[in-house]
Structure 1
């Protein structure tokens, strides 16, 4: 029992780990997006923690947009500096793109240093059980630390079951598509074979008739 509990705690820690990244976003007049992609499940809470350097009026304007591969737009913020927290709930099982645009202000004259033309961004993405405020839950329900860990494991287990169900449905759709494609290819091949045989027979008959008309045979 103790072994299972320790294993569950390790699994919870691994699954709830925070995806922390440090990004350098260059400032240009017409910036291309610098994007980070992460896959989230449907109706899953996602918290994006951003910490940037610089300040407003330093000649750079850092914007952020959060959209998924289906087309849902979750957030748009302009001229962000310092610490920014964005929370949303996903609408679909899809990949979410977190994109940064660093605009260089025209009136700003760079000092020639590398630091003056980039913004350093520290990005942390939490989803599912990791995105919940467990301290607030512990305080509101007056739970013991062990009970909080069990709550985390329960939430994590539900997420794993949901993801396995999604993968199962996806595999069933892919299998149905594969079987349908194989069936169509089979009938298409049969039609092609009969068409070639029929065309070959007609060509033989046509040549025989042509040679008889010309008195060759």
Structure 2
């Protein structure tokens, strides 16, 4: 069991790789990221526009930027800001759960527009830290930087464990609620069946009495 838990945490702590996707200039693309409490998330992106003349994607034209909107599990806006055609955004979660990250260009067109390729990379927790920059800023040695990384990893593992306990608690509450509803529904069905049976018996008794069979 301990080995399975350790492997699960390793999978959860693995940094997500970069990807790219295609959208029309006026479209929106959303992602859902499960984030523990008090965890930093950093996203990096780059916009490329399709050029019909050469049949390939090139850096987007001036004026095309990116609007990033992030909502927490309670559907409250954590981040809503316009950025340039290439850059990064960051936010810190204040509640555990699924965070929705939506991207769309700042185009004001109603229809059509260019076809865009968005390169997108998101890092969660200690993977979002820029350790070379931290080393240069704090003037850390190689050993000190490694200790810093290990401490950050331990802290992130602790947060992931707390998040897994939170998910298990929510799942247990959902299961208890479902079981209660199933029990109530079964009791209601039983009451209805008994009531229908009593009504049928009373109706048959009156029918037999009317026919003077009893």
User: Do both proteins adopt the same fold according to a TM-score greater than 0.5, normalized to the shorter chain?
Assistant: yes
Residues 1:71 and 2:68 aligned together:
no
Rg: which structure is higher? 1
> Which residue in 1 is equivalent to 2:87?
84
CA distance in 2, matches of 1:16, 1:194: 53
TM-score by length of 2: 0.72
CA distance in 2, matches of 1:161, 1:200: 58
Cα distance change of structure 1 residues 20 and 182 upon mapping to structure 2, 3 Å threshold: same
Residues 1:162 and 2:168 aligned together:
no
3-state SS of 1:122 partner = strand
3-state SS of 1:126 partner = strand
> Which of 101, 123, 126 is the equivalent residue of 1:126?
123
| Deviates further, 162-171 or 181-190 | 181-190
CA distance in 1, matches of 2:207, 2:150: 84
User: How far 1:74 sits from its partner (Å)?
Assistant: 0.5
3-state SS of 2:46 partner = strand
Is contact 2:67–2:105 with CA below 8 Å preserved after alignment?
yes
Cα distance change of structure 1 residues 66 and 207 upon mapping to structure 2, 3 Å threshold: same
CA distance in 2, matches of 1:24, 1:192: 52
Count of matched residue positions in the alignment of Structure 1 and Structure 2: 190
User: How far 1:138 sits from its partner (Å)?
Assistant: 2.4
Cα distance change of structure 1 residues 55 and 182 upon mapping to structure 2, 3 Å threshold: same
CA distance in 1, matches of 2:193, 2:16: 61
Residues 1:152 and 2:155 aligned together:
no
Residues 1:26 and 2:10 aligned together:
no
User: How far 1:18 sits from its partner (Å)?
Assistant: 5.2
> Which residue in 1 is equivalent to 2:168?
171
User: How far 1:212 sits from its partner (Å)?
Assistant: 1.2
After superposition, give the CA deviation of every residue in 1:65-105 in whole Å (9 maximum; x if it has no partner): 22225232413216x32x32222222322223131236375
> Which residue in 1 is equivalent to 2:107?
103
After superposition, give the CA deviation of every residue in 1:104-136 in whole Å (9 maximum; x if it has no partner): 759xxx9xxxxx933333222222112223234
User: How far 1:141 sits from its partner (Å)?
Assistant: 4.2
Cα distance change of structure 1 residues 26 and 206 upon mapping to structure 2, 3 Å threshold: closer
3-state SS of 2:62 partner = coil
CA RMSD of aligned residues (A): 3.1
TM-score by length of 1: 0.71
In structure 1, the gaps of 5 or more residues are 1-10, 111-115
